[in-house]
Amino acid sequence: MKEKTIRINEIFYSIQGEGIQIGIPTVFIRTQGCLFSCSWCDTVYARDFEKGKDMKVSEIIKKVKKYPAKYVCVTGGEPLLQKNVKFLISRLLKRGYNVNLETNGSVSLNGLPKSKNFLISMDVKCPSSKMEKRVDFRNIKLLKKTDQLKFVLKDKKDYDYAKNIIKKYKPGCNIVFMPVGGTNAKKFAENVLKNGLNVRVLIQLHKVIWGDKRGK
Ligand code: SF4
């Protein structure tokens, strides 16, 4: 039988720079291809489906095992556009890894593992991304308490949008506010305190440490 393959952009070892697992040494598996074109996308190189290379799931796991990490982040691009990504996630979980899936929220989250070692990190794209109409909000109900909903914020319009989405859908999971560009969170932090929102305001730690360096 032909082995399952996934189109991969890159695999690298770094510090998790975003969300509730911030700071944890992690292997990143970046899949190739995305249907969005967020105005501030910082991984443009991972969007074109023609680029990257097909790798067998066994090859991907072999590469992951070279690193001394217990955490793996499957990111993109948009990982869920490739049907074999769910298979990869289940294999990683079976091997004892903690797995974090980063998704742009456009593909249904139905049928993903329920393991306590599996974290779904779903983005809600705000108006400055120009992709806000592409998010499937039915996915919010499918998130576990331990998952996370991430809002990348550029300005006050984005902040107000995020606040309204939280009010409307009442997510039961962790909620993260993060500034576009990764580091300038002051105005959002002040508004969160002023409005008493039950969210985390986080920066992108890898950008503080390494700047915009690719593969970090
Ligand atoms: S969803 Fe992610 S990879 Fe796709 S365009 Fe937006 S930021 Fe870039």
**pTM, full prediction:** 0.96
Output the DSSP codes for 14-49: EE--SGGGTT-EEEEEEE---S---TT-S-GGGT-T
Q: Is the CB of 192 under 6 A from ligand 1?
A: no
Residue pLDDT tens, the chain, 216 long: 789 999 999 999 999 999 999 999 999 999 999 999 999 999 999 999 999 999 999 999 999 999 999 999 999 999 999 999 999 999 999 999 999 999 999 999 999 999 999 999 999 999 999 999 999 999 999 999 999 999 999 999 999 999 999 999 999 999 999 999 877 899 999 999 999 999 999 999 998 888 888 777
> Domains of the chain, with CATH numbers?
5-210 (3.20.20.70)
Q: Is the CB of 178 under 6 A from ligand 1?
A: no
And the tokens for 177?
Answer: 């506010």
Q: Is the CB of 34 under 6 A from ligand 1?
A: yes
Q: Is the CB of 76 under 6 A from ligand 1?
A: yes
- Nearest CA owner, ligand 1 atom 5: 37
